[in-house]
Amino acid sequence: MAEHMAQIPFLDLRAAYLAIQPEIDAAVQRVMASGWYIQGPEVEAFENAYAAYCGAAHCVGVANGLDALILSLRALNIGPGDEVIVPSHTFVATWLAVSAVGATPIPVEPNAQTYNVDPALVVAAITPRTRGIIAVHLYGQPADLDPLLEIAEAYKLALIEDAAQAHGATYKGRRVGAHGDVVCWSFYPGKNLGALGDGGAITTNREDIAEKVRVLGNYGSSKKYVNDEQGTNSRLDPIQAAILAAKLEHLDDWTKRRRDIAGRYSDALQGVITPVVPNWAEPVWHLYVIQHPKRDVLMAKLADEGISTLIHYPIAPHRQKAYAELAYAPGAFPLAERLADDMLSLPIGPQMPEAHVERVIETVNRVAPTL
């Protein structure tokens, strides 16, 4: 790396804190001084604000995004012997949730343009054991929900949305958050709405599911020391809830900046494949992912010039050792495998300085076409 060039981080979480430090500090102080450290008014206030933001009737805070998925599947009574259709190309947590309840993840290849699950292939994967479909709004771009809702209705399946990367994204003009039976959120620090620690939630219009997730996440108890279910402890921390409520006020501004950067990239980048956005989708650009057949060389050259990039994700879930039991051979899901080889995520974030955007564009355009 040349001396004069500052490192361009992939995402600057400290800058995100400093941007609204007085608000976050005040939120944390308020909780500390309140004497109320589990559940209570701060969690309730955030749940109400986030439900309203998503256009959902209910929001229930949980400990993290993976728990949001697991508790949703449990609330839908999905378990051993059941099959759940999942994308072959996703973060492994989508699959882990299915395995955690004892059900089997059934992978389906994505649409090669949008990277989200292909509804036509979903139908082909349905068997008498299928109980649900998990649609992932990958990289912040909503999956094609209308055909998935039709399939779910026709085959009596639950539609679960993994929206961990899609806070504020819209599908046909309406925010993601209540299209399917239940929508699962992560507030992991690097997500578009991120806590300063772990956090998660579900949103839904179904009162039965909201109630069941709340009970399951609180030891299976709706009344203290009375246990109706073998639940677990998975609750949103009040300090994180207060921080998230403060951050939610800024989410749309931050999304706008992400959209500006994505627009600049898509207009200017050369020698790489840039993302395709269907006309019904308004993505929130959790990640800006390009493809290049010599991805590893490109990544190394960008690193030499001080530009940090990441791969989402380098190994498809069916090729992970964790899923050796499913015995999928190499090539079983060729599109997911190719994407794992070719994809590269460029720096993007609400606090990314303009000069960094320009340098990423200039460097990619100088390097990528020559590889």
Ligand X SMILES: *Cc1c(COP(=O)(O)O)cnc(C)c1O
Q: Residues in the site for ligand X, rule: CB under 6 A?
A: 64-66, 90-91, 93-94, 136, 162, 164-165, 186, 188, 198, 200
Which of residues 142 and 200 has its CB atom nearest to ligand X in the complex? 200
Closest CA to 85 of 131, 50, 36, 151: 131
In the complex, the smallest distance separating the C-beta of residue 247 from ligand X, rounded to whole angstroms, is 15
Contacts of 267 (CB under 8 A, 6+ apart): none
The maximal CA–CA distance of the chain, rounded, in angstroms, is: 67
CB 161 within 8 A of CB 182: yes
Which of residues 162 and 181 has its CB atom nearest to ligand X in the complex? 162
Which of residues 194 and 356 has its CB atom nearest to ligand X in the complex? 194
Spatial separation of the C-alpha atoms in residues 320 and 332, rounded to whole Å: 13
Which of residues 165 and 309 has its CB atom nearest to ligand X in the complex? 165
Q: Which two tokens stand for residue 345?
A: 């995520």
Residue nearest to ligand X (CB): 65
In the complex, the smallest distance separating the C-beta of residue 366 from ligand X, rounded to whole angstroms, is 31
Which of residues 135 and 242 has its CB atom nearest to ligand X in the complex? 135
In the complex, the smallest distance separating the C-beta of residue 109 from ligand X, rounded to whole angstroms, is 17
Query: From the CB of residue 353, how many other CB atoms can be counted at a distance below 10 Å?
Result: 12
Which of residues 12 and 67 has its CB atom nearest to ligand X in the complex? 67
In the complex, the smallest distance separating the C-beta of residue 268 from ligand X, rounded to whole angstroms, is 27
Spatial separation of the C-alpha atoms in residues 221 and 171, rounded to whole Å: 36
In the complex, the smallest distance separating the C-beta of residue 330 from ligand X, rounded to whole angstroms, is 24
- Residues 283, 290, 345, 70: is their CA dihedral positive or negative? positive
Which of residues 136 and 242 has its CB atom nearest to ligand X in the complex? 136
In the complex, the smallest distance separating the C-beta of residue 186 from ligand X, rounded to whole angstroms, is 3
In the complex, the smallest distance separating the C-beta of residue 64 from ligand X, rounded to whole angstroms, is 4
Closest CA to 281 of 175, 141, 120: 141
Which of residues 190 and 220 has its CB atom nearest to ligand X in the complex? 190
Cis peptide before 313 (omega within 30 of 0): yes
Provide the H-helix boundaries in 126-250. Answer: 145-155, 207-216, 238-248
Give the Cα-Cα-Cα angle 161, 163, 164 (nearest 5 degrees): 135
In the complex, the smallest distance separating the C-beta of residue 162 from ligand X, rounded to whole angstroms, is 5
Give the Cα-Cα-Cα angle 97, 136, 122 (nearest 5 degrees): 95
Residue 43: CA count within 13 A, CB half-sphere = 18
Which of residues 143 and 158 has its CB atom nearest to ligand X in the complex? 143
CB 85 within 8 A of CB 134: yes
In the complex, the smallest distance separating the C-beta of residue 312 from ligand X, rounded to whole angstroms, is 8
Residue with tokens 């090669």: 112
- Residues 347, 50, 215, 180: is their CA dihedral positive or negative? negative
